[in-house]
Amino acid sequence: MKILGIETSCDETGVAVYDTNSGLLAHCLYSQVALHADYGGVVPELASRDHVRKLLPLVEEVLTQAKVDKSQIDGIAYTAGPGLIGALLVGSCVGRAIALALDVPAIAVHHMEGHLLAPLLEKDPPSFPFVALLVSGGHTQLVRVDAIGEYTLMGESLDDAAGEAFDKAAKMLDLDYPGGPQIAKLAELGDSKRFTFPRPMTDRPGLDFSFSGLKTYTLNTIQAHARDDGLPDEQTCADIAAAFQEAVVETLAIKCRRAIQATGFKTLVMAGGVAANKRLREKLTQELARFNARVFYARNEFCTDNGAMIAYAGAQRLQAGQTDDASVKVKPRWPLDELPTVGKAQQ
């Protein structure tokens, strides 16, 4: 089956063609980062309008790159949630319309399931069961994954998501949006030991997270060292970025270790935009090696939002005979454990 995947849940227009026999044929991405840069974050209405402009030309481009005629497409997979309602509606309406025009089935894909399965697109994929650490701009979750669609939430953030914390800390340091990669870059110049930031909720049992206190701690540290322009000197900014990153990374690592110990699983999958963080990858790999557990993640471009993960997740469900009816339903909030089961991946 050749599946066209469409992702428009936030500020990235992503499309891909995935073939259940030969794998990923092509993927294209248009990022709206420049469009939202002046606002320091995503402006939902601007995001929707830009998806409207970019989506169809991008679909044409990905079909050309994949050397696939639209008549050869066997199914459509589109992100239906969670995400920004207007942005989701663009991809869902276009996805459903293409399915209707081509007379092929279509399926609404859960954005976080897309992230969670993205490492299965790689050459050396993880096998089931595993623990997934989902760390994006909107979610921080630890999920027990027994098979595709068999998800049990083990823990999640009670307030800000890890990516959101990176973005907010970056804003305080006057760095551009999205802040995660900017903090990571600045942290390389800093001394992570000069300041010791808290590791929230690690002093009690459990797998939930809280990152909002870390945000306040960051602001207080910045203010305590601020010069007349409101910011500390360059080295201090770098030291704060490094201390902040280290606190988030260590907090995530402690909880991942607990989740691996609780399940007895030997595989951890990290996914979502923050999974592109180099220090987090290093730390988790190191930490879990002590428990003979291995860490898997996708290449950077498949950690952040993309169409390939949606095409892949949708392909698994369409191949299992699941489809959605022709009505356009988006779900800005959509618990992962409400998804129907599929079983083990068919690569």
Residue 181 CB, nearest distance to ligand KG4 (Å)?
4
Residue 305 interacting with ligand KG4 (CB under 6 A): yes
Question: Could you give the CA distance from residue 114 to residue 308 in angstroms, rounded to a whole number?
Answer: 8
Strand partners, 106: 76
Q: What are residue 27's DSSP bridge partners? A: 16
Closer residue to ligand KG4, CB minimum distance, 1 or 153: 153
C-alpha torsion sign, points 295, 298, 300, 304: negative
Judged by CB under 5 A, the chain residues 133 through 152 that form the site for Zn ion are 136
Residue 267 C-beta: closest distance to ligand KG4, Å: 21
Among 133, 304, 312, 334, binds ligand KG4 (CB under 6 A): 304
Q: Is 10 in the site for ligand KG4 (CB under 6 A)?
A: yes
With CB under 6 A as the rule, give the number of residues binding ligand KG4: 20
Q: Give the whole-angstrom CA distance, residue 107 versus residue 84.
A: 19
Does position 190 interact with ligand KG4 (CB under 6 A)? The reply is: no
Q: Quick check: 171 and 226 in contact, CB under 8 A?
A: no
* Residue 12 lies near Zn ion (rule: CB under 5 A): no
Complex with Zn ion: residue 240 or 298, whichever CB lies closer: 298
Q: Are 90 and 48 in contact (CB under 8 A)?
A: yes
117 binds ligand KG4 (CB under 6 A): no
C-beta closer to ligand KG4: residue 104 or 237:
237
Nearer to Zn ion, 239 or 305 (CB): 305
Within residues 38-57, the interface with Zn ion by CB under 5 A covers: none
Assigned token pair, 237: 């900014």
Of 92 and 136, which CB lies nearer to Zn ion in the complex structure?
136
Sheet holding 75-81, edge to edge: 23-31, 12-19, 2-7, 75-81, 106-110
* Choice between 14 and 95, CB closer to ligand KG4: 14
- Size of the chain in residues: 347
d(CA 10, CA 48) in angstroms, rounded, equals 8
Cβ 296 vs Cβ 288: under 8 Å: no
String marking each residue 148-187 x if it binds ligand KG4 according to CB under 6 A:
---------------xx-xx----------xxxx--x---
What one-character DSSP code corresponds to residue 341?
Answer: P
Interacting residue with Zn ion among 305, 315, 334, 345 (CB under 5 A): 305
Give the DSSP H or E segment for 91: helix 85-102
Q: Minimum distance between the CB of residue 280 and ligand KG4, rounded to whole angstroms?
A: 7
For the beta carbon of residue 79, count every other beta carbon within 10 angstroms: 32
| Among positions 14, 91, 155, 273, the unique one binding ligand KG4 when judged by CB under 6 A | 273
Interacting residues toward Zn ion by CB under 5 A: 136, 305
Q: For binding to ligand KG4 (CB under 6 A), which residues are involved? A: 10, 136-138, 163-164, 166-167, 178-181, 184, 272-274, 276-277, 304-305
